[in-house]
Amino acid sequence: WYLLLNNSVSTMNSAVHSFRFDELIKYVDDHQEEYVQTLREWVAVESDSSDVTKRAELYRMMDMVGEKLRKMGGKVELVDIGEEQLPDGSSLALPKVVTAQFGSDVNKPTVCVYGHVDVQPAQKEDGWATEPYNLTEINGNLYGRGASDNKAPVLAWIHAVEAFKALDMDLPVNVKYLIEGMEETGSNGLDAMIKSQKSTFFSDVDYIIISDCGWLSKRPALTYGTRGNCYFFAEVEGPKQDLHSGVYGGTVIEPMTDLIGILDTLISPSGTILIPGIRDAVAPFSDEEWKMYQDIEFDVESYREKIGVEQLMYNNKVELLAHRWRHPTVSIHGINGAFSAPGTKTVIPAKVTGKFSIRQVPDMDPAVVEKQVTDHLHSVFAKRKSPNKLKVKMIIGAKPWLADIKHSLYEAGKAAVKRVFNVDADMIREGGTIPIARTFQDVTEKSIIMLPIGGFDDGLHSQNEKMSR
Amino acid sequence: WYLLLNNSVSTMNSAVHSFRFDELIKYVDDHQEEYVQTLREWVAVESDSSDVTKRAELYRMMDMVGEKLRKMGGKVELVDIGEEQLPDGSSLALPKVVTAQFGSDVNKPTVCVYGHVDVQPAQKEDGWATEPYNLTEINGNLYGRGASDNKAPVLAWIHAVEAFKALDMDLPVNVKYLIEGMEETGSNGLDAMIKSQKSTFFSDVDYIIISDCGWLSKRPALTYGTRGNCYFFAEVEGPKQDLHSGVYGGTVIEPMTDLIGILDTLISPSGTILIPGIRDAVAPFSDEEWKMYQDIEFDVESYREKIGVEQLMYNNKVELLAHRWRHPTVSIHGINGAFSAPGTKTVIPAKVTGKFSIRQVPDMDPAVVEKQVTDHLHSVFAKRKSPNKLKVKMIIGAKPWLADIKHSLYEAGKAAVKRVFNVDADMIREGGTIPIARTFQDVTEKSIIMLPIGGFDDGLHSQNEKMSR
């Protein structure tokens, strides 16, 4: 993987080091076991950022990252990003962000690699075949929590520089690292840190690389877009308190009936968004895009089987991918305040909050979406003539991100994939939101490439997460 | 209150004891403090049947009831009704049911009083002004958990017999008691016990009295009907597991969208049930009923204020009461399987179960309702052409209960209320379901009267429950 760095850089920099390419290859092959061992040590740290009782492990993880980079001769800092407030009112220090720098030659471009070393929760009882924090190799796959998301990709970029250093080869670019420990719970504190270091750490950064994503199939891929996310709360409030449905049912217009009624106006049975105006802003699907989608390696039938549904929303590859990546969609996630447990409680909930989100795509504007959704819901609610009260609020308004795939960064990425795998990279998007990409773009105004290292079947956030050796 | 027993009986029995009426009155007045003291002792027992850690208190409560009745010279039994299975797989003995008998004169009718001495949970921190298990008198009200529901009413019926005994007056009827300790959690074990004692304990019972309900206003009332309850689960199942709404949104027809869509076809914004056929079986609202409803003391505006809504479903007293008591209604209680917590989880739930209930009234038949609801939901679901799977199941099918208010039992009740309060009793119904009434009626085939002793503002199941002195 370090070849990608070398290669992508080589297309931007006339000082091509290809004469020592074979030497690098050999070095990596000779040290593969060491790389796996380092990954094993990192996976053994239960750096679960969602569990405050494991915070000491997370601090230790950040120290290990700093130590690793320091040993390689980097200029390392552990940046204090403050505290988080816990629900009980107490506060807890956030894990420091590790920054590192290798080289400061003003004649070279500077590449910054972003990654994270915190992980999702994992317990063997959840259905793991192996101990989640004990990296275990089975048939060439390395199983362990965080193996693919995102510890191995971070180590791949670190070991790339390490190989250059070990061979005493001049790095063709200046390399910086920004490694955080709160990604899985929303990168708490990172936005502020990026903003505050805009004119210091980021001042000489030209390019940002993110490998916190995955391939779409067995073919290597480059990711050039993510969808945004407008997350809404629609609250309907009626009686002062929950009422017994036997005693009071039939005398009040129930908030739950109103909420169900307005949620039912968001999306048609076949999946068309019914909110007036929402689709008007969506960038037209060009012939060029159609052709590109057509070339992507993606098996609709396997996808259907993996999800386990009888039929997908679209059966055609291009339409399916387009609705996954570059068309908006509405998902209703649930209702807060109503009875949600098993059993048969007979209550009329007094206040219920419907939660739904719209995955946003270029050229939709969250502020416009907020107005369209709010106006629509108030309009359909008004027609019900309900005595209850409706409040609509957009809780998250994360913008989509889209890169120019003709930018030299993507040309370098394509060339690197071609060189290593001898196939053309699939140019893909993510249906989900990676807010950090958008923050990097908005704050630093640098170009970003997402270069996935994880496989399509790595099981991120699931049981039996793995990284192929 | 013992006068009600005396009085109701006197109208059925030629042996009127009215010549000693004043003596009974005096006895009760002289012993009022003792009655309150006994209630204080009973309230002090935390007989919360929903909390298994308090089961010893519940056993002690049943022993106290048995002891009290034994001291009065009754023939008392503590009937073993078996065990309950706890969620962890262990089992726990149910509190025994206390039965007692006073008199077995074949020339007298036999009255059986049903009541319960278990209570709802209560903690001072919930918002009680006083310690919930320390009966506290403020302005003539006795505050404490279980004071009104149902310990004081049970004691009222016990003290009625005690007064006759103390004065060595012949009881005009044979009196039986059936006091249970699991009412608040669904009378676990009681149905089987009633069935098994049909030809023993119940064989000579002529009338059953239940005082586990409340007045509608400040005017005394007799209750002659309750609604039934058909409780449904509608489960929509799609993908094999929950999906990330960013990664998969736009490619699958979401079970939650389907469920919201079908739930929205149950009831109109103004409260009309939309399920075809449901309303056909409802007994017509007669002129006689209309007149009776018109005479009931009930202030619509106070009711509206108490619930805290801007407008009720009906503003007219008769219509409002009719829809509370004798028309069916649909309440949607909630959804199991979707995201219900605070926060902003971005998940597409794979399987969601909507929970709703229909309060049933005469002459609806639960089996017919089950078919109508199931057919309707499958029909609207089929029109959606969804690849997901729908299952509809009726979990509870509790029948309504309705007494003949011209029966001698109600005539006796009316006369008793008139004699004690010098007003005509309001003839009322309960919107909720009291399954035990239906069980008594179906199993024992005896006549039942519900004679509420609790006030309209006693706060059953709430903070600051009380019983007026």
The string of pLDDT tens digits covering residues B104-130 is: 999 999 999 999 999 988 999 888 999
Go through B391-418 and write b for each residue having 16 or more CB atoms within 10 A of its CB, e for each that does not.
ebebeebbbbbbbebeeebbebbbbbbe
- Domain residues of chain A, as ranges? 2-225+400-468, 229-283+326-398
Residues of chain B neighbouring A324 (CB-CB closer than 8 A): 247-251
For residue A26, count other CB atoms closer than 10 A to its CB. Answer: 12
Q: Which residues of A touch B271 (CB under 8 A)?
A: 250, 253, 257
When CB atoms are compared, the residue of B239, B244, B334 closest to A308 is B239
Q: How far is B237 from chain A (nearest CA, A)?
A: 9
Residue of B244, B336, B387 lying closest to A340 (CB–CB) = B336
Give the CA count within 13 Å in the CB-facing half-sphere of A447.
19
Determine, for residues A252 and B338 on separate chains, whether the beta-carbon distance falls below 8 Å.
no
Closest CA to A411 of A110, A15, A4: A4
For chain B, what's the residue count? 469
Whether residue B178 has pLDDT greater than 60: yes
Lowest mean pLDDT, pick from A11-15, B50-54, B152-156, B232-236? A11-15
Residues of B within 8 A of A345 (CB-CB) are 333-334, 355
Q: Could you say which of B253, B311, B338 has the minimum Cβ distance to residue A334? A: B338
**Average pLDDT over every residue of B340-349:** 87
Selection from B106, B117, B111 nearest residue B202 by Cα: B111
Cβ contacts of B62 within 8 Å, gap of 6 or more: B78, B95, B96, B97, B98, B117, B179, B181
Residue of B nearest to A309 (CA): B239
Which residues in chain B are contacts of A248 at CB distance < 8 A? 307, 324, 431
Active site residues of A: 118, 183
Contact list, A252 vs chain B (CB under 8 Å) = 307, 309, 312-313
Nearest CA in chain A to B339: A334
Q: Which residues from B are below 8 Å from A359, CB to CB?
A: 245-246, 249-250
Among B252, B258, B309, select the one facing A307 at the smallest CB separation: B252
For range B20-36, the mean pLDDT: 92
Q: How far apart are CA A397 and CA A364, in angstroms?
A: 11
In chain A, which residue's Cα lies nearest the Cα of B359? A246
Place of tokens 């005396």: B6
Cα B211 to Cα A112, A172, B27, B325, B344, distances in angstroms: 76, 89, 23, 18, 47
Contact partners, residue B426, CB within 8 Å, separation at least 6: B215, B216, B217, B219, B220, B221, B222, B295, B296, B297
Nearest Cα to Cα of residue B425 among B400, B394, B450: B450
Write the pLDDT tens digit of every residue in B246-272.
Answer: 999 999 999 999 999 999 999 999 999
Substitution target in B223, B309, B321 with the highest count of A β-carbons within 10 Å is B309
The pair of three-digit structure tokens given for residue B363, joined into one six-digit string: 């002459």
pLDDT, residue A65, reads 98
Alpha-carbon distance B214 to B428, whole Å? Answer: 10
CA distances from B454 to A249, B142, B214, B457 (A): 21, 12, 5, 8
Question: At B2, is the pLDDT very low, low, confident or very high (cuts 50, 70, 90)?
Answer: very low
Find out whether A358 and A281 touch, Cβ atoms under 8 Å: no
CB contact under 8 A, A263 and B267: no
* Token pair for B162: 């005690």
Q: How far apart are CA B432 and CA B398, in angstroms?
A: 11
In this structure, the number of other CB atoms found within 10 A of the CB of residue A52 comes to 14
Whether residue B11 is predicted with pLDDT greater than 80 in this model: the reply is no
pLDDT the model gives residue B18: 52
The architecture (CATH level 2) of B228-283+326-398 comes to 2-Layer Sandwich (3.30)
Min Cα distance B325 → chain A (Å) is 8
Contact between B269 and A386 using a beta-carbon 8 Å cutoff? yes
- pLDDT given at position A19: 54
B186/A286: higher pLDDT: A286
Residues whose CB falls within 8 Å of the CB of residue B447, separated by 6 or more in sequence, listed in order: B206, B207, B208, B403, B407, B409
CA distance between the termini of chain A? 11
The residue ranking higher by pLDDT, B435 or A328, is: A328
Q: Tell me which chain B residue has its CA closest to the CA of residue A228.
A: B246
CATH 3.30.70.360 fits A229-283+326-398, yes or no: yes
Angle CA(A235)–CA(A240)–CA(A245) in degrees, nearest 5? 90
Q: How far apart are CA B229 and CA B433, in angstroms?
A: 7
A-chain CB neighbours of B334 within 8 Å are 256, 335, 338-340, 345, 349
Cβ contact B17:B10 at 8 Å: yes
Percentage of the residues of chain B whose pLDDT score is greater than 70: 96
pLDDT per residue of chain A (469 residues) written in tens, 0 to 9: 344 554 444 444 444 445 587 898 899 999 999 999 999 999 999 999 989 999 999 999 999 999 999 999 999 999 999 999 888 889 999 999 999 999 999 999 999 999 999 998 899 988 899 999 999 999 999 999 999 999 999 999 999 999 999 999 999 999 999 999 999 888 999 999 999 999 999 999 999 999 999 999 999 999 999 999 999 999 999 999 899 999 999 999 999 999 999 999 999 999 999 999 999 999 999 999 999 999 999 999 999 999 999 999 999 999 999 999 999 999 999 999 999 988 888 889 999 999 999 999 999 999 999 999 999 999 999 999 999 999 999 998 989 999 999 999 999 999 999 988 999 999 999 999 888 898 999 999 999 999 999 988 898 888 899 999 9
Chain segment B264-322, per-residue pLDDT in tens: 999 999 999 999 999 999 999 999 999 999 999 999 999 999 999 999 999 999 999 99
The shortest CB-CB distance from A261 to any of B264, B384, B461 is to B264
Select from B244, B252, B258, B388 the residue whose CB has the most chain A CBs within 10 Å, as the one to mutate to test that interface: B252
pLDDT, averaged across chain B = 93
Enumerate the β-bridge partners of residue A273: A267
- The topology under which CATH files domain A2-225+400-468 is Aminopeptidase (3.40.630)
Task: In whole angstroms, give the CA distance from residue B130 to residue A162.
Answer: 71
Query: Distance, in angstroms, between B303 CA and closest chain A CA?
Result: 10
Q: Do A336 and B332 touch (CB under 8 A)?
A: no
- Residue A158 is predicted with a pLDDT of 97
Strand, helix or coil at B326? coil
* Strand-by-strand arrangement of the A466-468 sheet: A136-138, A141-143, A466-468
